[in-house]
Amino acid sequence: MRIRFIRFCTLLCVITLFSFCEDEKYEKDLPSYSAMEKTIREKNDSRAQFYWDQYFELLTKLSEDKFIVLPLNEMRKTFNESKVVVGLRHDVDFNPFKALEMANIEKSLGFHATYFLLATSEYAGSFNNSGFTRAQGMEYLYKELHKTGAEIGIHNDLLAVMILYNIDPFWFNREELSFYRSLKIPIYGTASHGSEIAKETVTNYQIFSDFAKKDSVTYKDKKYPLGLHSLKEFRFLYEAYFIKFNIYLSDSGGKWNDPEGMAGIMKKLKSSVPGDRIQILVHPDWWGKTNQ
C-alpha cells in the first residue's frame, strides 16, 4: 500500500507540474481564465472532503480484470455478462479546476469518464437583465478536459434558467449545445442537477417530455410549462439517471451513499459480480483534500 501511495504521489506531482506549466503558458493570453481559477479555488478548494490517494485506491480497485470502466455514452451501449460494467460519471457543480486534475489522473491510469458541466455555476458565467454572459477564457478548460479523452455532457439545471432567471430554457439549451459545437466538443448526454429550485419543485429532467409527469409546475403562484420538447429534439442520446444500472454509488454532498463511507463503497465493488451494471457518481468538487 505504501509503495502504491508513493507512486501515486509521484504521479500527482507530475500532473500538477504539467498543469502549472500549461497555466503559465496561457496566463498571458487568458488573464480572465487565471482570474476565474483564483476566485474559484479560493472559494472552493478548501471544501474538499477526500484525498487524491483515496481516489487512486478507488481506481486501483476498478482496474481489476472483472471491471469494464467507461464514460456513460459507451456504458449505455455496453452489455457483457462476463464483466461488471461501470459507468464513471462526474457532475462538476462548482470547481471545474478540480475536474481537470481528476481527468488528468484518470488519463494517466488509462481511465476515461463523463464530465457534466453546469451552466448555472459561477465558473460558466452569470445571469443578468440582458440574459447570460459567459465567463471568458473558460473554453480553454473545457477543451483541455475534452483532450484528456473525457466525454463532456450537460448538467441540466433548466428549471433554474426558466424559473429563477426568466429565460426560455429550451432556447438556452440550444445556445449551450451551439457553444460546445463551436469548440468541437461533441455532446451526447445530459444529467439532471439537484439544484435548490428542483428540490422545491420537480427534478430537472422533467423539463423534457421523455420524463415529465405533468404539463406544468407552479412556483410562487406562477405556472411554468414542462415537457414541451424531448431529448431527441436536441440530439441527446441519454439522461444519466435513465441509463440501465442496478447499483448506484455516489459521493453527493461530500458523503458516500453508504453508511460505512469509502470502506462501504469498496466492499460493494468487491462483492459485485459479472453482469452487474454500476453507475459511479464522483463530484470532483469534493476531492483533492490537502490538510491532515
Phi, psi of 133, deg, nearest 5:
-110, 115
Q: For residue 153, which of 88, 230, 201 has the smallest C-alpha distance?
A: 88
Tally of domains in the chain: 1
Examine residue 273 and state whether it is found in any structural domain, yes or no. yes
Residue 176, Cβ density class (10 Å: 0-12 exposed, 13-18 middle, ≥19 buried): buried
Question: What local confidence, expressed as pLDDT, does residue 139 receive?
Answer: 95
Return the beta strands (E) in 141-225 as ranges. Answer: 151-156, 187-192, 216-219, 222-225
Count of Cβ atoms closer than 10 Å to residue 65 Cβ: 6
Sequence-distant (6+) residues with CB within 8 A of 74 are: 151
Examine residue 33 and state whether it is found in any structural domain, yes or no. yes
Report residues of the chain scoring pLDDT below 50: 1-7, 10, 13-29
Give me the residues paired with residue 280 across strands: 88, 249
Examine residue 215 and state whether it is found in any structural domain, yes or no. yes
Cα–Cα distance, 262 to 244 (Å, whole number): 24
- Per residue in 87-104, pLDDT (tens digit) is 999 999 999 999 999 999
Q: Provide the CB-side half-sphere exposure for 107 (13 A, CA).
A: 17
Cell output for 288:
483533492
Question: What local confidence, expressed as pLDDT, does residue 276 receive?
Answer: 98
Question: What local confidence, expressed as pLDDT, does residue 23 receive?
Answer: 44
Size of the chain in residues: 292
Examine residue 291 and state whether it is found in any structural domain, yes or no. no
Cell output for 71:
464514460
CATH code at position 58: 3.20.20.370
Cell output for 14:
507530475
Examine residue 292 and state whether it is found in any structural domain, yes or no. no
Question: What local confidence, expressed as pLDDT, does residue 83 receive?
Answer: 98
Question: What does pTM read for this prediction?
Answer: 0.91
Structural domain containing residue 275:
2-286
Cα–Cα distance, 136 to 237 (Å, whole number): 29
- Per residue in 189-225, pLDDT (tens digit) is 999 999 999 999 999 999 999 999 999 999 999 999 9
